[in-house]
Amino acid sequence: MADVISKKVKRNFDATAGETFDIIVIGGGIIGAGIARDATLRGFRTLLVEKEDFAYGTTSRSSRLIHGGLRYLKRLELGLVRQDLREREILLHIAPHLVHLLAFVIPISNARPLQRAALPFGLMLYDLLFYGKSLPSHKRLSRSETLELEPELERKGLVGSYLYYDCQSPFVERLCLDNVLAAAEHGATALNHAKVVGLLRNSNGVSGVKVQDVTSGENYEVKAKIVINATGHWVDSLREMLGKSASTMIRRTKGIHLLTPQISRNAIVLFALADNRLFFVIPWQGYSLIGTTDTDYSGDLDTVEAEKEDVNYLLKEVRRIFPDIDSQKIFYASAGLRALARSSSRNPSDVSRSHKLVDHEREDGTRGFISVLGGKITAYRAVAEQAVDLVCKKLGSQSPCTTDQVPLPGAPSVSKQIIEKAANQRGITVETVTHLTALYGSRFTEVLELLKQNPRGAQLLCPHSLDILAQVQHAVQYEGALTVEDFLLRRSALGLGPCLGLDALDHIADEMGALLNWNQNERQKQIDLYRARSGGRLRFASGLQS
Ligand SMILES: Cc1cc2nc3c(=O)[nH]c(=O)nc-3n(C[C@H](O)[C@H](O)[C@H](O)COP(=O)(O)OP(=O)(O)OC[C@H]3O[C@@H](n4cnc5c(N)ncnc54)[C@H](O)[C@@H]3O)c2cc1C
């Protein structure tokens, strides 16, 4: 199996350019990866190209929740919520190693009577919308029960809370990667650091892409019957390659998160006093992830950062409910962009999170080109299914979708007994093996297998994380990691922790350099780029500067 994976993810642009594909998917975020997996399982010859790395875009900057979205009930988007609750259930089934139950507490205070009146109705609807769900139903908790669960909550005005359940995918980057690996193992070609720089045209449509191998700068032409533009908030830039001066199809809004020391045991739902928006304090790997915001964005698409106003907004609102939060202790602030299908709503938070498929043949007569607008992580599989259904219609295929049944590569999740046995056998701690199973699911054994050739691989990479050296080799040989950033942010958990992996950066550059034959210049370039990109996340690291 191991050889198969490494072979499939291996880059061979010359061979790729010689092939004609049924489908080229542009964009290796969760939506593009999901489409590539679905298309391949239905027997289509598929190419996935990603300009940076799988999950580099919005997918890795999300709140990491797999949820129906309580907030969408307020706008009565019942269809969207029902779809997402169904998808939540499917993901628990096909990706139990990466999607877990998470308890949410909504504190109720006597200061907001309207909200108190609306909540029981909303939560009942949330329970009823997906009949047959496996998650427990919501509960009303008294004041003392609430404080027992969450002792740090502001006591003044607190009258109780509601407890309900949704899901979390702590390493959503790996959910994306699992889709890429599944596609590759079923025959797709998946290329990261492969940027589409032009669309190939024929008389009445699109016949392929011009793709650049970003590592060498070389361009290649690849042909396909259908090209799918799944580039998230970059969707317009691909459409511009058609040579039409078209108006934008999406509205971009920015959302930020703060990583802080852990302030709650469960996820806490808060309603901002400033604008009544719902946001979360989410437990994540022993820390708290606080977010998000929702503001219109018109800046550079690749350098999105939190601004002082964003940080200020979150801290001010969180402090009302967690008065003891230390605003000088922010480890980092990350930012991402939503690509929302355009609507007439004025307020960004009122724009629907529902996705839209644009068949350009129907839209403007361009055959062979489809764009995907929007689409939450939670619904990625359903969005992919609809996109591939459309391709089937165009190519005259009857092949059914099976992605709701076929488990993702790292499924199922691993039992405690197996973890303990593996830890004993390899002489490493149960905590480390548990961490590996949280990232790789049942494929943690691939990482441990590498210790046979190289026992040094059991070394921890950094005092702030349980990631081990063998993961570097695994990422390069099995999972297509090409840069230190690929490894730190999207293969391991190292770059997501409080030190951003900076403490282990030189070590990782040495190890990757040895595997990928970097010279001294390349090694230094990798380090400098990672440091430079981390700078944006660290701007508020020692609290809010006035
Ligand atoms: C702050 C925030 C919090 C969120 N929280 C949640 C949540 O908790 N749960 C949830 O379900 N959803 C959440 N979302 C929404 C969700 O994250 C996104 O809708 C989803 O990740 C979009 O995936 P995507 O694949 O469409 O886009 P992306 O992940 O952005 O992927 C697009 C990819 O296309 C690539 N690309 C662009 N141009 C080219 C090119 N020319 N050639 C090749 N590749 C190219 C990019 O590099 C990128 O990797 C959140 C969004 C934000 C902003």
For the stretch 254-279, pLDDT in tens is 999 999 999 999 999 999 999 989 99
Single out the residue of 58, 32, 31, 30 nearest to residue 46, CA to CA.
32
Amino acid at 304: V
Residue with CA closest to ligand 1 atom 4: 62
27 CA closest ligand 1 atom index: 34
Global pTM value:
0.96
Q: Is 56 in the pocket of ligand 1 (CB under 6 A)?
A: yes
**Is the preceding peptide bond at 412 cis, omega within 30 degrees of 0?**
yes
- The ranges of the chain with pLDDT < 70 are 1-10, 245-246, 343-346, 349-351, 543-546
Residue 6: the pLDDT is 46
For the stretch 30-62, pLDDT in tens is 999 999 999 999 999 999 999 999 999 999 999
Report d(CA 429, CA 436) in Å as an integer.
Answer: 11
Residue with CA closest to ligand 1 atom 31: 29
Cα(204) to centroid(ligand 1), Å: 30
Q: Is 28 in the pocket of ligand 1 (CB under 6 A)?
A: yes
Q: Is 49 in the pocket of ligand 1 (CB under 6 A)?
A: yes
Residue 3: the pLDDT is 38
Q: Tokens 């690509």 — which residue?
A: 339
Residue 5: the pLDDT is 42
- Given a contact cutoff of 8 angstroms between Cβ atoms, the answer to whether 187 and 45 are in contact is yes
Q: What is the DSSP string of 287-351?
A: EEEEE---EE--S-SS-----HHHHHHHHHHHHHH-TT--TT---EEEEEEEEEEP-S-SSGGGS
Q: Is 68 in the pocket of ligand 1 (CB under 6 A)?
A: no
31 CA closest ligand 1 atom index: 25
The pLDDT mean for the chain works out to 93
Q: Tokens 């034959």 — which residue?
A: 517
Cα dihedral across residues 169, 25, 182, 470: positive or negative: negative
